[in-house]
Amino acid sequence: MTNNIHDLTRKTDDVVIVGAGLAGLFCALKLAPRPVTLISAAPLGEGASTAWAQGGIAAAVAEGDSAEAHAADTIAVGGGIVDEAIALGLACEARARIEDLLRYGVPFDRDLEGRLAVGREAAHSAKRIVHVRGDMAGQAIIAALIEAVRKTPSIRVIEGFVAEALLTEDNAVTGLQLRKADDPTARPLIIASRAIVLATGGIGHLYAVTTNPREASGLGLAIAARAGAVIADPEFVQFHPTAIMVGRDPAPLATEALRGEGATLIDDRGKRFMLPRHPLAELAPRDIVARGVFAEIAARRGAYLDARKALGARFAEKFPTVHASCLAAGLDPAKQPVPVAPAAHYHMGGIAVDARGRTSLGGLWAGGEVSSTGAHGANRLASNSLLEAVVYAARIAEDIAGQEIAAPARLPAALVVLCNSVMPVHAEKKLRAIMSAHVGVVRDGEALAGAVRAFAALEREAGSIALRNMATTALLVAASAWSRRESRGAHYRTDHPVEAPALAHRTMTTLAKAREVAAVLDILAPRSAQAMIA
Ligand SMILES: Cc1cc2nc3c(=O)[nH]c(=O)nc-3n(C[C@H](O)[C@H](O)[C@H](O)COP(=O)(O)OP(=O)(O)OC[C@H]3O[C@@H](n4cnc5c(N)ncnc54)[C@H](O)[C@@H]3O)c2cc1C
């Protein structure tokens, strides 16, 4: 392991992996003994959504279940635009990847006969979520993989450095520009490589209310988009219906499994508000539950998760993580309903990749939440994201293993030495507020247009590269949400409340196209961008 600056600034024929969640760690392990440089913005184990996963991994490993049934459930919730072959491929590879994780030491729960224990989550037709000690799956996975990585001599780990730009030549990557996470005014460093894997996670932190760590602010997507990569489905953001509202940023999550165990959603008078909204009530697809919770809060009736009857005294034992979060805020979920709200949770969109994890740029792969494979369509089935991360990490490693990758002939020049990466607190807060208010659970054309103009102006003018990268991803999400004049899956527009059959396809876009949308909107109403961001 090294954080030595002199070791960093160099040409390398290492494969460079950015991100140390499930996708990055697993890919590095699968590539061993090939030399890999693994870069993480935060110390290993921190700043990764993986560590916070509570449910587990969807895998059709139980008797009577099948990959076909798993794929059918994935397709059913995806709003008609899931790539069916990709969904089936994921489901088919689940068992092998779970076995890999067991070999790396992940202690998945077993039943009395020693078989993998499986739980049920919303919109799954069978019990198929493999888990660890109730809601500890993420922590157990990350701990086991970090231990394996630390023991693998071919993996050079660099912690505390943020990737802020990709360097390219002739539509292929030549290197990465990095900056020390805790020294935003330091000069950027360059690492030259012709094989880079982005595994930087999601975009939740672009929103004011999110379950994601701070590092999930869309940087990987931004740097790929700025280098010209094709971006898929950025408008599709999943909001978790039950983030616990106790004034924390990010907001702690009350896992879906609680509703699977019978916890209900009630308003401040104790009325179950999901009953009239969907036949599956609290276990309806996430987008429908999120809109139900949103509507109750907007109508000032409040929304609460009530586990008193369903779990009561068993709460602490069954859901230790949620229990601890509630207790820390002075709430006892065994005895009191817990206030909840929808929070940005998962990004179905991302850097467009093919079935091997290749992006549209030569030498650039993307895996995990930063990528968009087509498996989730407009809405993700619960616990399919860890599965996708692990399956694609393995596929990327296999694809890279079959290739000769030469070190670049020279060290590429830094792209943006003049910028610093100091985050202006007020502007960041404003960006996140606009995302939640105008690009959130419920959207409409006019509000989206205002957001597009505001983000385009920031993306053009921000002096801080950190803010500019956030604005880049925000612009892509807002511009695609504005352009999709329908409601589909997690993308809901009050001005176009139903699906338009002609739009039953994925979005494939670029930063240049998003800027064009902004330019057209600017011509229509030139002054409103300043008004929104001021
Ligand atoms: C609270 C919560 C609960 C969840 N529960 C489940 C669940 O039960 N089942 C399920 O399937 N999914 C769940 N998800 C979603 C799932 O955890 C994520 O989709 C998945 O872990 C993503 O893995 P990843 O490796 O792509 O990214 P992450 O695990 O987020 O890792 C990203 C890594 O990239 C690093 N990074 C980011 N930007 C940079 C940069 N610019 N430079 C350097 N490093 C960078 C981060 O520090 C981190 O190391 C949950 C998510 C959350 C937030």
Give 304-317 pLDDT, tens digit per residue.
999 999 999 999 99
Over 90: is that where the pLDDT of 515 sits?
yes
Mean pLDDT, to the nearest integer, of 315-340? 93
User: 179: CA distance to ligand 1 center in Å?
Assistant: 21
User: 51: CA distance to ligand 1 center in Å?
Assistant: 7
Is 515 a known active-site residue? no
Beta strands 15-18 and 36-40, pairing class: parallel
User: 27: CA distance to ligand 1 center in Å?
Assistant: 14
Which residue's CA is the nearest one to ligand 1's atom 38? 200
Beta carbons of 432 and 478 less than 8 angstroms apart: no
User: 56: CA distance to ligand 1 center in Å?
Assistant: 13
Over 50: is that where the pLDDT of 3 sits?
no
359 lines ligand 1 (CB under 6 A): no
219 lines ligand 1 (CB under 6 A): yes
Give 452-494 pLDDT, tens digit per residue.
999 999 999 998 999 999 999 999 999 999 999 999 999 999 9
**Residue 371 vs residues 23, 171, 233, 505: alpha-carbon distances, Å:** 10, 18, 10, 17
Nearest-angstrom CA–CA distance, 209 and 336: 23
Atom of ligand 1 nearest to the CA of 20: 49
Which residue's CA is the nearest one to ligand 1's atom 20? 50
Inter-helix orientation angle 511-524/445-461, to 10°: 110
Over 50: is that where the pLDDT of 298 sits?
yes
Beta carbons of 256 and 199 less than 8 angstroms apart: no
Which residue's CA is the nearest one to ligand 1's atom 3? 53
Atom of ligand 1 nearest to the CA of 44: 49
Atom of ligand 1 nearest to the CA of 40: 44
First to last CA, the chain: 44
Strands (E), 120-188: 129-130, 155-159, 161-169, 172-180
**Which of the residues 286, 380, 432, 468 is marked catalytic?**
286
Quote the DSSP letter at residue 258.
Answer: H
Which residue's CA is the nearest one to ligand 1's atom 5? 53
User: What is the identity of the amino acid at 135?
Assistant: D
470 lines ligand 1 (CB under 6 A): no
User: 50: CA distance to ligand 1 center in Å?
Assistant: 4
Q: How confident is the model at residue 67 (pLDDT cuts 50, 70, 90)?
A: very high
Nearest-angstrom CA–CA distance, 474 and 450: 12
| Total residues found in the chain within this entry | 534
Give 76-122 pLDDT, tens digit per residue.
999 999 999 999 999 999 999 999 999 999 999 999 999 999 988 87
Nearest-angstrom CA–CA distance, 100 and 317: 28
User: 114: CA distance to ligand 1 center in Å?
Assistant: 30
Atom of ligand 1 nearest to the CA of 58: 11
Atom of ligand 1 nearest to the CA of 25: 25
Nearest Cα residue to 77 out of 64, 62, 87, 66: 87
Over 60: is that where the pLDDT of 1 sits?
no
Instruction: Note if the bond before 250 is cis, omega within 30 degrees.
Output: yes
Nearest-angstrom CA–CA distance, 106 and 160: 25
Nearest-angstrom CA–CA distance, 451 and 474: 9
Which of these ranges, 47-51, 157-161, 343-347, 523-527, has the smallest mean pLDDT? 523-527
Nearest Cα residue to 490 out of 285, 258, 205: 285
pTM: 0.95
Give 212-229 pLDDT, tens digit per residue.
999 999 999 999 999 999
User: 226: CA distance to ligand 1 center in Å?
Assistant: 22
3-state secondary structure of 294: helix
250 lines ligand 1 (CB under 6 A): no
Which residue's CA is the nearest one to ligand 1's atom 35? 19
53 lines ligand 1 (CB under 6 A): yes
Q: How confident is the model at residue 534 (pLDDT cuts 50, 70, 90)?
A: low
Report residue 205 as tokens.
Answer: 């932190």
Mean pLDDT, to the nearest integer, of 408-431? 80
303 lines ligand 1 (CB under 6 A): no
Q: Which residues pair with 400 in a beta bridge?
A: none
User: 487: CA distance to ligand 1 center in Å?
Assistant: 27
Give 355-366 pLDDT, tens digit per residue.
999 999 999 999
39 lines ligand 1 (CB under 6 A): yes
**Residue 217 vs residues 10, 313, 466: alpha-carbon distances, Å:** 27, 37, 10
H helices, E strands: number in the chain: 16, 20
Which strands sit side by side in the sheet containing 36-40, from one edge to the other?
A: 155-159, 36-40, 15-18, 196-198, 364-366
23 lines ligand 1 (CB under 6 A): yes
Mean pLDDT, to the nearest integer, of 180-209? 94
Which residue's CA is the nearest one to ligand 1's atom 21? 50
Place of tokens 């993308």: 491
350 lines ligand 1 (CB under 6 A): no
Nearest-angstrom CA–CA distance, 394 and 367: 9
Strands (E), 419-477: none
Q: Which of 120, 128, 200 to mutate to test the pocket of ligand 1 (most atoms within 8 A of CB)?
A: 200
Nearest Cα residue to 481 out of 87, 71, 207, 84: 207
Please provide residue 103's backbone torsions phi and psi, each rounded to the nearest 5 degrees. Answer: -65, -35
